[in-house]
């Protein structure tokens, strides 16, 4: 009987919680430039900030020019 009561209480606790999704997310892309003839110098530690890009402006099937 105690196990059933405990399982019911746990199930009720999970059933009453709500899930909220964030409206924004941070995407970080890293990589390396491998060149044989020169040494590239990038400002800001190589970080490029594209600012805010709306999801509607991106294509799931085509190339997205940033």
Name the residue with higher pLDDT: 57 or 32: 57
Name the residue with higher pLDDT: 27 or 21: 27
- Closest alpha carbon to 51 in 21, 30, 26, 16: 26
- Asked if residue 33 has pLDDT above 60, the reply is yes
Q: pTM of the entire structure? A: 0.39
pLDDT tens-digit series, residues 2-25? 677 777 777 766 665 556 667 778
**DSSP one-letter code for 2:** H
Where do the domains of the chain lie? 21-66
Token digits of residue 5: 């009561």
Could you give the CA distance from residue 26 to residue 56 in angstroms, rounded to a whole number? 16
Could you give the CA distance from residue 27 to residue 58 in angstroms, rounded to a whole number? 14
């Amino acid at each position: 009987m105690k196990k059933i009561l405990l399982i019911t209480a746990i199930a009720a606790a999970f059933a009453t919680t709500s899930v909220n999704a964030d409206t924004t997310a941070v995407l970080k892309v890293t990589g390396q430039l491998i060149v044989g003839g020169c040494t590239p110098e990038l400002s800001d530690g190589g970080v490029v900030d594209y600012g805010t890009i709306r999801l509607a402006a991106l294509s799931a099937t085509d190339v997205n020019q940033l």
